[in-house]
């Protein structure tokens, strides 16, 4: 099979689209991380608590968490050290794989996640809801999910 060469206009469109997605993320993230909630805990550390809180089993492998954040493996390992030192998460050995580490929230971790989460969600809503109609938000959600799914499958 031959792979069709992309036209230069198609390449340009993709580049512009990514550029805009990236810049909008920068703009929103800048505002969000300036919120007072993240004086208590840096947003990257909160994100790990959040990810754990969303997980049905309550526990995740470090390498699974690593897929969700833009950090190197060693940086995540140390970030988790900090969370563990503060008593917000607990490491345990994965039952089915002796190399793996399962991470779970402690009661204090759940508490802090919810506390920060409430404020964070408010901030998000203040920033995103007035910018786009509900239909536009649903479409943006759909498109970013589709993009993410494609990238993950590649």
The only residue of 101, 124, 127, 140 in contact with DNA, by rule CB under 7 A: 101
Assign residue 58 a region (left: φ > 0; alpha: ψ between -120 and 50; beta: otherwise): left
User: Residues interacting with a second copy, by CB under 8 A?
Assistant: 6, 10-11, 13-18, 20-31, 68-70, 121-122, 124-125, 127-132, 134, 136-141, 143-152, 154
Q: Residue 55 interacts with DNA (CB under 7 A)?
A: no
The only residue of 51, 55, 68, 100 in contact with DNA, by rule CB under 7 A: 100
| Cβ-based neighbours of 59, under 8 Å, separated by 6 or more | 52, 92, 102, 103, 104
Q: Residue 89 interacts with DNA (CB under 7 A)?
A: no
Nearer to a second copy, 108 or 143 (CB): 143
Alpha-carbon distances of 98 from 45, 62, 81, 145, rounded to whole Å: 25, 13, 19, 33
Contact 98, 61 (CB under 8 A): no
| Cβ-based neighbours of 102, under 8 Å, separated by 6 or more | 59, 60, 61, 91, 92, 93, 94, 95
The only residue of 77, 92, 133, 144 in contact with DNA, by rule CB under 7 A: 77
Least separation in angstroms between CB 100 and DNA: 4
Q: Residue 91 interacts with DNA (CB under 7 A)?
A: yes
| Cβ-based neighbours of 76, under 8 Å, separated by 6 or more | 48, 62, 65, 66, 69
The only residue of 20, 24, 75, 137 in contact with DNA, by rule CB under 7 A: 75
Residues lying near DNA in the complex (CB under 7 A): 42, 44, 61-63, 66, 70-75, 77-82, 91, 94, 97-101
């Amino acid at each position: 099979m031959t792979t069709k060469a992309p036209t230069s206009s198609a390449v340009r469109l993709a580049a512009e689209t990514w550029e805009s997605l990236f810049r909008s993320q920068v703009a929103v993230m800048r505002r969000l991380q300036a919120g007072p909630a993240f004086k208590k805990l840096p947003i990257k550390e909160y994100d790990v608590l959040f990810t754990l809180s969303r997980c049905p089993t309550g526990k995740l492998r470090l390498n699974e968490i690593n897929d969700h954040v833009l950090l190197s493996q060693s940086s995540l390992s140390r970030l988790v050290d900090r969370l563990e030192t503060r008593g917000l998460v607990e490491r345990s050995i994965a039952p089915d794989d002796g190399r793996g580490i399962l991470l779970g929230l402690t009661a204090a971790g759940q508490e802090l996640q919810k506390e920060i989460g409430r404020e964070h969600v408010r901030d998000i809503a203040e920033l995103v809801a007035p910018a786009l109609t509900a239909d536009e938000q649903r479409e943006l959600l759909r498109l970013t999910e589709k993009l993410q799914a494609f990238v993950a499958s590649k």
